[in-house]
Each structure stands twice: as structure tokens, then as C-alpha cells.
Amino acid sequence: MQFLHAAPRFLFFTGKGGVGKTSIACASALTLAASGKRVLLVSTDPASNVGQVFGIRIGNQITPVPAVPRLSALEIDPPGAAQAYRERIIGPARSVLADEVVRSMEEQLSGACTTEIAAFDEFTALLVDSELTRDYDHILFDTAPTGHTIRLLQLPGAWNDFLQAGQGDASCLGPLAGLDKQREQYAAAVAALADPQRTRLILVARAQAATLREVARTHEELAAIGLGQQHLVINGVLPATETADDPLAAAVQRREQAAIAAMPEALRDLPCEQIPLKAFDLVGLDALRQLLDNTTLGTSQTLPAEPALQAPSLAELVDEIAANGHGLVMLMGKGGVGKTTLAAAVAVELANRGLPVHLTTTDPAAHLSETLNGSLENLRVSRIDPHAATEAYRAQVMASKGAKLDDAGRALLAEDLRSPCTEEIAVFQAFSRAIREAGRQFVVMDTAPTGHTLLLLDATGAYHREIARQMSDSHLRFSTPMMQLQDPQQTKVLLVTLAETTPVLEAAGLQNDLRRAGIEPWAWVINNSLAAARPRSALLRQRAHNELKEIHAVATQHARRYALVPLLAEEPVGVERLRALSQPQD
């Protein structure tokens, strides 16, 4: 594999959930160890299954892998790191500050930013502490720091005093409070990441248009902050040999090749490799050693024909949604799981029943227009431009809060407003305007604000707390966007996932974030299911069989209600194909 040729000391494997980062990182570690190198494999993934892959218990300490000479592994526990991190910051304040202030600090440190920063804090030592890692030739990281985390760390240290003086309502600076002493170490770590002689990033994607768009954005974010040594790996590409007797497999293969041919310009100049789709679960040393072989390995067993799955369809969920005649429907989930398509499918199904629907998205309008491929009575479509919303929000904050500050304070406030959370908050404000329409019609939202954003808004006081304070002595009824999101009679959140281990675990994590913000997800939607599509190809049949465990986990452990949406042979573009997503399979 070219991305392992002349490998530098640090290799980071990054990409969205379910694309195969952990498997490729583990297989790369085996390859380097087999070549005589001493390797440390580090996972910062909250849903890490590195120990499961190797069949041993690892945990938050460097552990030799007995079956692989020269290989050790370490699993950083981000939630545990975040808890220790919070206590390190808040602990000294408990006996000094008022309880209300301490609670506010705890809320500010409860979101995803804190977990990211805490994980970075944990593995910073692996980048800069030569005593800790001197025995290793290569250190491989599964789940690299995001551009979001690194941009936060690059904000100036002076904001700490700025916050303590009560001059700023930070968008996401709370997680960084009290870390001035570590800034020198962080700067050294960021410098190591940006040094092409020491660090290489492997961007892992699937051969899907949406996933390639996501990884292009990651590439540009990381390149913009100096991490330019990047390779692209397109994982799980369906071989042409599987298409002969299976129309579904043939359609999938054509779709994948078209997505690769039309990949974003930003990715075209990167070194790129493709890894063929495998039928087997990538657990155990034998499977991992075969992963990076450019060969197709079919199913190792003859599977009986699977009976048709008796799972609820998307139309059954829409039946319940439609009963109220109006309301807010939010589709949430990680990148690449198909939120835009499913939002359009839900909106089309509601509109087809004669109900007025407003479908709104932060995706490019052209993409949504192409998905609908025409107009439909009762359906109105709009787009929120994240860039325009963010610029308007920055201007508003600078004109209001900035007007009360001196030049130095205004400069710090402007820097804070360049943090990555600013866009999330600005987009939420734009969404809030659409939320008000849900009292008289259906509003379906694609790319809804994450639990992380909602926690930030609820924790900082923002609009919701201020209105509640002002109205506390009044007999008038009032409602804020946050209250509407928390009301299951007004809002139904649908979590979108795939029937694969990592996307299901990530959706469960998002569900926990939402619950901390007082929002209970109404249903889960498992998208692009092979098990529901009943393929003929031996390879795809094996993968369909592997999905059953994850479908069962969603149905019995995670979701109060759920729907299963099959992988379609044809791209779900146009009203009729979108409606086909909603229908039960024969």
C-alpha cells in the first residue's frame, strides 16, 4: 500500500464513522510490525474496538499484543479523559465559587468539545514526550484530531482572562478554561502534526458521493491549518466480479465507480488507493492480514436464503408523524448515512398525503433539488446557507457585545467568533426561524443541529434562559426554540444510521448527547440496508447476514421505534424513487 511506503513516525487514520478507519489502522500496524518495525497503535475513538479486533483487553495503558511481535496498543478513553479533565478544572472552584457558577461551568464542559480536547490532552504526550514513546519506530492513531479541535487549540491564550472578566459569552471556549500552562506542549504537538517529515494523514472514505464530499471537507480543513501530508484511501469498493448474476450488485458497482470518477476536485491530486470490499468481519489477525491485499475474498460459508425481514418501514413511521397534521421532524446523524435523502423521502411521503410540508436543509440547494428532481404539490423547499448565516451572526455579535469592549477585547471576541462552534450556533439560529412554522404545518429539517450545539446553547444561557428569566414572574405563556425541541408533541427527532457497528455506536452517542440536552429521540432509521434488499451476490449476502446483529441491537437496545430502509438498485432521485424508500420490501 502506497500510504505505508516510506512511512513517517506518526500516521493518523481519519474519516467518518463506518468507513473502516480502525480496521485499516490495525492492518497497517500488522504490516509495519511484520516488516521489523516497533509499532504503537493508539485509538482515541470513544467506540474503540481495537481490543476486540485483536482479541485482547487493552484499555488506557500501553499493552503488548501477544500474537504480534513488536506491536503494542493503547486505547485512550475519551469519556474518562473528559471526566478527569472537567474535575481538574472545576475541582478547585467548588469551595470558592457559588454553586450556580459551578453548575454553569459543569454545563459548559459537558459537550463534545470537552471530549475532543480531553482526548487531545491525553495523546499530546505521545507526540512530544520522547521518554514515553522512544521505544517505537511508528505510532499509529485511529481517529485523528479533527480540524475542529486543532482550530480551538490555536485560539489565543488571552481569552482565559477575557472570560474570567465576564466580557465574552464564549461559543466553545469553556472546554479550554485554565489550560494556559499546557499551551506550550499543545503548540509542540500541533507543530508535530503539521511536519510532513514526522506525520502523514490517511483520509479513509467509501465510494459514495456524500462520503467523498465529507472527506474533501476534512482534507481542506486540515490542509488549511498546515496538515498537508495526506493520502486518500477509498475502502470497501465492490469488485466487478460480484456483479454477473446480481442486478443490485451491478447497480452498486456502477454507482461507486461514478462517485469515484466525480470525486471533488480537492481530492484529485492526493495519492489515492482503493481497497476491495471483503465479505468477512474484520476481526482477528487472519482477517486483518488479508484486508490490505488487493484481492477479493468471498464468503467463507454457504449461507441459506435469508427470510424477508419483518421490520417496520419508513412509511409506518410517517403514519404516526402524519397523525398530528403538523410538527417539526428533524433528521440527525453522522456524515454519509443518507440524512438528506431520507429527509426528502419523509417530506415527499407527507406531501403525498396532502399535508403542507416545508423541507429545509443546510446542504447545497442543487443537491436537494437533484434528489427531488422536480416539484410536488404541498412541498416547499428552502436552503440555509451556513456561510451567510455565520457571517450575519458574527456581525450581530460584534455590533452588540463588541460595542461595549475596548480594541483588545474586540480583537479577542473576533477571534472567538472564528471558532468552529460559531457556525453551528449561527445555523441553529437560522433553523430557529423555520421551527416557528411547525405550529401550522410540517417542517422537515435535514442536517439538524447536533447534540453538541444544543448543549452549548442551553448551557450558555443564550436565548432560552434569558426569555425564561424575563417571563418568570409573568402569567403569559411563552415558548423558545429549545422548549419546542424538548417537547415530543411538537418535535420528532429521527436518528439516521447504517447497519454497521461504528455508525450504530455513533448514533447511540448522539442519542446520549441529545438526552443531556433534554431531547428524547423519537425513532431510529437504519438506511441502505443490504439485509432488507436481499442481494444475490455471495459477497453481499454475507454482508447482509452480518447486518442482522446491528439491526437487532437497534431494535432491542437503542430505539423506542425504528424503520429499516433498503439499499435500492437505482439512486433514490426523484419523487417516485424517494417514495420507494418508504415502502415495505416484498
Q: Which residues are known to be catalytic?
A: 18, 20-23, 45, 502
Three-class SS of residue 536?
coil
Q: In what order do the strands lie in the sheet with 379-383?
A: 379-383, 357-361, 442-445, 327-332, 491-498, 523-529, 562-566
Q: Please state, in angstroms and rounded to a whole number, the distance separating the CA atoms of residues 130 and 320.
A: 59
Cα dihedral 53, 55, 61, 65 sign = negative
CA 353 – CA 249 distance, rounded (Å) = 33
Of 81, 72, 180, 197, give the one whose Cα is nearest residue 132: 72
Q: What pairing do the DSSP bridges indicate for beta strands 71-75 and 63-64?
A: antiparallel
Measured in degrees and rounded to the nearest 5, phi and psi for residue 491 equal: -130, 135
- Strand 379-383 with 442-445, pairing: unpaired
**Nearest residue to 118 (alpha-carbon basis) of 109, 108, 105:** 109
DSSP string for residues in 338-397: -HHHHHHHHHHHHHHTT--EEEEESS-HHHHHHHHTS--TTEEEEE--HHHHHHHHHHHH
Helix (H) or strand (E) holding 514: helix 501-516
* Cell numbers found for residue 111: 459537550
